[in-house]
Each structure stands twice: as structure tokens, then as C-alpha cells.
Homo-oligomer: A and B are copies of this chain.
Amino acid sequence: MEDKAQIQEAIKVQGEVVRKLKSEKASKEQIDEEVAKLLELKARLGGDDGKHQFVLKTAKGTRDYNPKQMAIREKVFNTIVSCFKRHGAETIDTPVFELKETLTGKYGEDSKLIYDLKDQGGELLSLRYDLTVPFARYLAMNKISNIKRYHIAKVYRRDNPAMTRGRYREFYQCDFDIAGQYDGMIPDAECLKIVHEILSELDLGDFRIKVNDRRILDGMFAVCGVPDDKFRTICSTVDKLDKMPWEDVKKEMVNEKGLSEEAADQIGEYVSMQGGMDLAERLLQDPKMSQSKLATAGLSDIKLLFSYLQLFQVTDKVVFDLSLARGLDYYTGIIYEAVLTQAGVAPVANEAQNGANSEESVSVGSVAGGGRYDGLVGMFDPKGRKVPCVGVSIGIERIFSIMEQKAEASAEKVRTTEVQVMVASAQKNLLEERLRLVTELWNADIKAEVMYKKNPKLLSQLQHCEESGIPLVAILGEQELKDGVVKLRVVATREEIDISRADLISEIRRRTSEA
């Protein structure tokens, strides 16, 4: 047992922290986090009755979604899934845990963030860390050599959660991938078309899609004199360019990674370049770059890519950017990342909001990223057969946060149900008549509600409609029953008209289909 006095002291201190945050009107999340700590301490102290000592909270770094958040989530998912379906994608699902060895050796240093299950006898299991490795395992296991699929599911990382910045240990990923041996750059271009469509439809403000190629990066490192064994580490330094000024990046290269100043300066010149197809053409003529076969292969593909992007009508947002590096080891060709450029919508304070992409060099406002990975499936195939893949991951958690902020700021209330009509009565003893009418409506596929009270007050029935945005009320009374009508009330305008029972359903349909 711990020392009670010590815990009591800690509770006192933690109580002060909470009070201070409250007086400073800190964010709800921040207060909740500190309150949770306080409750944990109190639980350790134990109670008198020994009955309710447990801590009433979700696991660290996780959260419940309330109905309002779910309504926003559903809207975002619908937009994204519609786009995937428009492009002919199928969907698959995989278990939330995999054999531990399936994940081993795929995430480098980040492997320490994997959640393991307790050994309760039997196989050693881990929670999935992303959707890409399970996808590659699925392809190899089922010997599938081509598929266009999307997968939306939660993944798990024992990261240091920064929930106040919207970063969680359990979060959604939303992946679209095209596997198969095809003619160059056509599926790659379609991935960018999809990002363009989704970000446009979600109306998140202006955005840019940065494009580069791993082979161009590697070729560039080679011609700038970076030793082969330093490609990866220098690449991950370049990756910091969206968060650090060039001077600091250069310092890291020279002082920490031991690169020559001259090589660093040459890299610095290249990574400042941005453009379109013209830049790829210019670099193909560049005396140094043109010496690298890797770089010229990558540059030719960028040219081809842009020609398809023109046909797809998305070049307005796409920029060839030599500073884009991306962290993941498994990329082998084209890489890309979409960033929001309107600071207003994506405040810097929420910089790391996209838990979904924590390993993927999230820059300020990054909302999607991906690239080509032609070697991953081969790692799972017993005969090492390769299945070329290209894909994109939509940074859905960050998009949720932005949509939530927008909903918060908007005057319009987020509806959490789709109820079209409330069946109400002004008088007593009409429960049976209400139930009869609501049954008629349900049977006609009208979304309808009735209060679970024998004699509810009309006011409380109307209030419920106001609160949950129900547009119509069907009011029953002795007179209406005698006349064979229902009083239909429009909540917004308070207009009331008598409708015959026979016409009620078509009238409700007419009035709610306009919305």
C-alpha cells in the first residue's frame, strides 16, 4: 500500500491544478485530463464503503464519441466513401489485432508504440498500427495480385497522447489503395484526383497537394555527394523542412549527421525548388541530376504524372516540391501530401491534430498523404512475389476536428437524429391514439417519434422538437379524432393546418423532401 498521507497531499495539489484551469477557462479537454488524474489519485486512496472506488473514465488517450460527434463523423465518412465508390473501389475489413510477428520489422523505431495483448496462452497478438500492413498481409495471404480497395477502421498507437491538440491513441484511418501491375502513373494520378475531389467536396478551404518521388530524392542525395548509407537519415532531416527553417535543417545535416557543408548546400538548392511539369523538364536537363538514373526515372514519371493530372483537371492544386520527403521507409516511388493553406481553418495550435499521420511527417495543415510502395506485399509472400501498390490515407481525425470547429462556430445546430415528425397530443388519455398513429408512420417508412409518457405536456413535446430539430409535429386531440384529421404543425413557423388522415403521409413526405 502507498502512503495515505502522500496521496492525500497529491490530491490537494492536483485539486489546485483543476481549480486553476477552471478559473482560467481552459479547454474542456484539458480540464477533463486533469480531473481524470485527480480521480485516479482519489481511487488509489480508496473509499469508505469500498463500493465505488473505480475510476470512471476511458483509457488514456482514448475518447467516446457523443451523438453530435458521430453525426459529423457520419457526414465526413459519407463524402469520402462516395468518392471511393465513384472510383470503383471495393472495401475489405481485417481483424483489430494481428499476429505480433506480422507487424514486426515494419515500423522501425516506432515499433515501441505498438500495443501488445497479454499472453493468455496461445498466439502472441498486437493491435494493428496502421491499415497498410494488414492490407499487404491480406493480399499475400489470399494471393491477390490486383484490387482497388478502401478500408476505414481504427488503429492503435501507444504514443504520448496530446488530446488537447486532438491527438489520440485510438484513431481512424481511411485508406484507398490500388494494387496491381499497371502502366506507369495512371493509378498514381487517380489517387491524386481522389484527394482533390475529397478535399474540394469537404469544403475545408484552399489546399495544395505536394508531390515528389523517392527516386528523385535518392538520386539527388547521390549527385550531391551524400554517402549511400546516409540516404535514410538525411532524408528524415529533409522531412523536417516543413517545421524548421533551412538553416536549422542544414545544421542538423552537418553537425549531427556529419554531412559536408558543400553537400548540404547543394541539397539546399534543390529542396527549395517548386514547380510543375516544367520543373521536371528543367531538372532532366540539369547537369548533375541528369547523371543519376534513379533521378531521371523519377523525373520522367513526374512528367508523365502531370500529363495525366492535366486530363484529370487537378493541376491547379498540385505542386512538384523537392522538399517533400515523408517518413515511412516503404515508399519506393511517387510520394504526396495534401496541406490546407488557409490558416484560419486549421490553426497552428492544432498542428498535430492528425494522429492518423503521426509517423508521416505531418506539416501544419496536412490532411492526406501517401505514395507508391512496390515492395511491401513481397515481404509477406513466401516466394517474395511483388505486388506493386500505390495509395493514399485521408487524415480523417484532423478533418473531424476542423468540421467540429466549423459546426461549433456555425449558427446552425448539428442534428443527431433524422426524425421528421413528432406524434403529440394536447389532451390527456390519448396515448393509444398516438401509438396507433406513430405505427402508421413507421410502417410508411417515415422517421417518427412519440414521447414515452401516458400524458405528456404539449409544451414539453414541442420543446423536444425545438431541441432536436424535428421539423413537424402531428397533433392529435378529441376534435381531430372526431373529424378524421391531424393538426400538422411546422415547428419553425408555428403554422398549423388540419390534414386528413388519408393525406397525412404524402403531406409529410412532401414537406420533408424539400429539406
Contact = CB atoms under 8 A, between A and B. Distances in A.
Interface stretch (A51-59, A238-246, A350-358, A506-514): A51-59
A95 interface: yes
A30 interface: no
Interface string A109-151: 0000001111110110101000000000110111000010100
Contacts of A142: 64, 66
A54 B154 contact: no
B87 A52 contact: no
Contact of A92 (B57, B70, B138): B70
Interface stretch (A402-410, A413-421, A471-479, A485-493): A413-421
A86 B183 contact: no
A436 B311 contact: yes
A64 B93 contact: yes
A149 B68 CA distance: 12
Nearest to A446: B86
Interface stretch (A12-20, A98-106, A290-298, A331-339): A98-106
Nearest to A97: B59
A23 interface: no
Interface in A42-66: 51-52, 54-60, 62-66
Given A52-B382, A59-B98, A432-B311, A91 B116 contact: no
Contact of A91 (B67, B149, B311): B67
A101 B67 contact: no
A348 interface: no
Contacts of A480: none
Contact of A435 (B52, B312, B448, B449): B312
A94 interface: yes
A128 to B, nearest CB: 11
Nearest to A91: B70
A380 interface: yes
A500 interface: no
Interface residues of A, number: 94
Contact of A313 (B92, B127, B149, B443): B443
Q: Which one of A74, A90, A187, A308 has the highest number of Cβ atoms from chain B below 10 Å of its Cβ?
A: A90
A87 B183 contact: no
A180 to B, nearest CB: 7
A332 B418 CA distance: 31
Given A64-B93, A308-B435, A311-B432, A57 B141 contact: yes
A149 B312 CA distance: 43
Contacts of A501: none
A229 to B, nearest CB: 22
A88 interface: yes
A330 interface: no
Given A99-B57, A384-B52, A442 B120 contact: no
Given A88-B419, A96-B156, A308-B435, 19 more contacts: A52-B383, A54-B101, A54-B102, A56-B141, A57-B99, A59-B95, A67-B147, A70-B93, A74-B91, A86-B446, A87-B449, A88-B448, A96-B96, A115-B118, A180-B452, A183-B454, A186-B431, A311-B436, A313-B443
22 contacts: A56-B380, A57-B141, A58-B99, A59-B97, A59-B99, A59-B125, A64-B92, A64-B93, A65-B94, A67-B147, A70-B93, A87-B449, A88-B448, A96-B96, A116-B118, A118-B118, A120-B158, A178-B452, A183-B453, A308-B435, A311-B435, A312-B435
